[in-house]
Amino acid sequence: MFLTARSAVDKIKESKLAVTCAFFLAAVILLSIFVPLLSTNNYYSQDLNNTFQPPLTKGNLFGTDEFGRDQFVRVWQGARISLTIGVVAALIQMIIGSIYGGLSGILGGLADEILMRIVDVIHSIPNLIIVILITMVMGSSPFTVILALSITEWTGMSRVVRGQTLMLREMEFVQAAKVLGAKKTRIILRHIIPNCFGPIMVNLMFSIPGAIFAESFLSFLGLGINIPKASLGTLASEGYRFISYYPWLIMIPVLIITLTMISFNVLGDTIKEV
């Protein structure tokens, strides 16, 4: 059975856990969009008379940090940055991997072997090392992190699409397109990739949390987003310094990262069963 958007939604509706995860992700996305826009507290504003306030005090739902900045606004602004980087990086990985894998599968023969050996070489190099080197050379910024994650994590998608292409290229509608003189690029874009929608979407659902975690890890190490801007990883890194005295500073961003990753993985597992 080929996965469609309707079949994926129907499958998610059958699972209470998947529905809960979908609502959680929707809430995270909405809060990350609107809280920084509508809050009366500024993302950067400091109040040195109101430092290290615990959650639910003085109108600060998530408390304040060492400079008296409202953590509620900073956490959701950080979530916006982390989600943006994760989703954009995963989408770029999907595009590169889909086109590369489709091209490899449709060409076949020696060309397929060469293209797959290139994938094997890239995959054999620890991705984290490449990402760290790129961010160190090009500097820390959302663009750099997206670029680093995009050029290192597409190999898995390419293998998935190649496997599907090897199967689909023998089907009648692809053979008919070849007989009618369709170019390989047209066959890939119009016939192969659309019929790989299911595996591509499943792989994408797993790629997004992977990219979010990678960005958070880089920011935690100080190689991601520059202060005073803060992703969830940066907030966790800042909170780690005060874990013994003010644990909420690290617990809240880490909890959001964890639940977000679990939610994407649950949805990916759910639609994988279609």
Per-residue pLDDT at 259: 95
pLDDT value of position 60: 80
Any idea which of 104-118, 211-225, 232-246 has the lowest mean pLDDT?
A: 211-225
Mean pLDDT of 235-240: 89
Band (5; pLDDT cuts 50, 70, 90): low
pLDDT of 242 > 80? The answer is: yes
Q: Give the separation between CA 51 and CA 65, rounded to whole angstroms.
A: 6
Confidence class for position 21, pLDDT limits 50, 70, 90 = very high
Range with lowest mean pLDDT among 160-164, 213-217, 220-224, 256-260? 220-224
The partner residues of 64 in beta bridges, in order of sequence, read 70
CATH number of the 5-38+66-240+250-272 domain: 1.10.3720.10
What is the predicted pLDDT for the residue at 3?
Answer: 58
Residue 143 structure tokens: 């663009």
pLDDT beyond 60 at 141: yes
What are the residue boundaries of the structural domains of the chain, listed by start? 5-38+66-240+250-272
pLDDT at 266 exceeding the cut of 50: yes
Lowest mean pLDDT among 103-112, 128-137, 145-154, 158-167: 128-137
pLDDT band at residue 1 under the 50/70/90 scheme: very low
Q: How confident is the model at residue 274 (pLDDT cuts 50, 70, 90)?
A: low
**Position 152 pLDDT exceeds 60:** yes
Per-residue confidence (pLDDT) for residue 96, from 0 to 100: 92
Question: Buried b vs exposed e over 108-127: b needs ≥16 C-beta within 10 Å?
Answer: eeeebeebbeebeebeeeeb
Q: Residue 63 has which token pair?
A: 């408390």
pLDDT of residue 142: 84
Which of 18-22, 112-116, 131-135 has the weakest average pLDDT? Answer: 131-135
Tell me which of 1-5, 110-114, 154-158, 250-254 is least confident: 1-5
In the block, residue with structure tokens 């005073």: 228
Give pLDDT tens digits for 107-123.
Answer: 888 988 999 999 988 88
Summarised one tens digit per residue, pLDDT across range 56-75 is 887 788 888 888 888 999 99
